[in-house]
Amino acid sequence: MPLSRSLPIVLLLLTLQPLAAQDMPLSQVLFDDKPWQLVGEGYQFTEGPAVTRDGTVYFTDVPANMIYRVGDDGKPVVFIDNSDRTSGLMFGPLGLYGCSSTSRSILLFNPAGEKKIFCQNVTSNDLVVTSQGAVYFTNPANNSIHHVSPDGESRIVDEGIDFPNGLILWPDQQTLVVADMKGAHLWNFRIEKDGSLSHKQPYSTMQLPVGKSASGADGMTVDRDGRIYVATELGIQVFDTQGRLSGIIGRPQAKFLSNIVLGGPDFNLLYATSSDKVYRRQVKVSGFPFWKED
């Protein structure tokens, strides 16, 4: 890729962190004596972990049509038992946003579990919500990324990634990162003032399973220092602010790893949804909801 094309986003990313933070080994993330702990089990397929402004974590069991909330005692309780097969979840200014395959819409759930349509007639897999209430979502069926305005109007803002799946914002919300499930790259975009995307480039390269060309990349999260975490077939791959691989956190079990989020009162509990179970482990870093105002 010509330097002139990649330079704007490289300069943007270089401004995110001081020089001292650019070397980010995995030892800055993990405690040696704090392994994965089971949160809940017996589900059909867990997905979409999302965190509130106070650190409470929600997740969905897609085939069972259920959304759960992790209670103060660390145990999941039912939040809603008719989720319209919602998969991707994220909290935002209007409540809990979710990708519904049954209703072909982006749904909004209020604290009482009541739902309404935020954006209709769309096919969505995963989403991210900005602090202003705009939504970006992926549609792997037609290799597209969509932007939804705060008033619910949707438009395509990118096409061409083989299988766009998980997506996340950098802490300053000027950069969108999208994982290619069938490829090796995390794609970075600069977010323009009108919500459009520019300076598309494969900024990070994921490790691939031996003999395979697909990463299996699914859900993503980010910490306050700008590290990107992506759930892949090999485990949770962690990338620093320069796009370099810091290391891979092993999967909590030998089953599909769908998604991750940093939650808890101090946002230092890394939650992982994996097939029939949900896990968490304490880490040295902390996350945050994008729409929380410090």
Give the model confidence (pLDDT) of 232-254 as tens digits: 999 999 999 999 999 999 999 99
**Average pLDDT for the chain:** 92
Give the model confidence (pLDDT) of 53-66 as tens digits: 999 999 999 999 99
Residue 289, pLDDT score: 80
Reported in sequence order, the residue ranges of 93-153 that DSSP labels E, i.e. its strands, are 95-100, 105-109, 115-120, 126-129, 135-139, 144-148
Is the per-residue pLDDT at 185 higher than 70?
yes
Q: What is the pLDDT confidence band of residue 3, given thresholds at 50, 70 and 90? A: very low
Residue 23, pLDDT score: 79
Is the per-residue pLDDT at 100 higher than 50?
yes
Backbone angles phi, psi at 162, to 5 degrees: -55, -50
Residue 291, pLDDT score: 67
| Sheet with strand 135-139: strands edge to edge | 126-129, 135-139, 144-148, 154-159
Is the per-residue pLDDT at 6 higher than 60?
no
Alpha-carbon span 225 to 234, nearest angstrom: 23
- The full set of domains in the chain, from first to last, is 24-282 (2.120.10.30)
Is the per-residue pLDDT at 13 higher than 80?
no
Q: What is the pLDDT confidence band of residue 14, given thresholds at 50, 70 and 90? A: very low
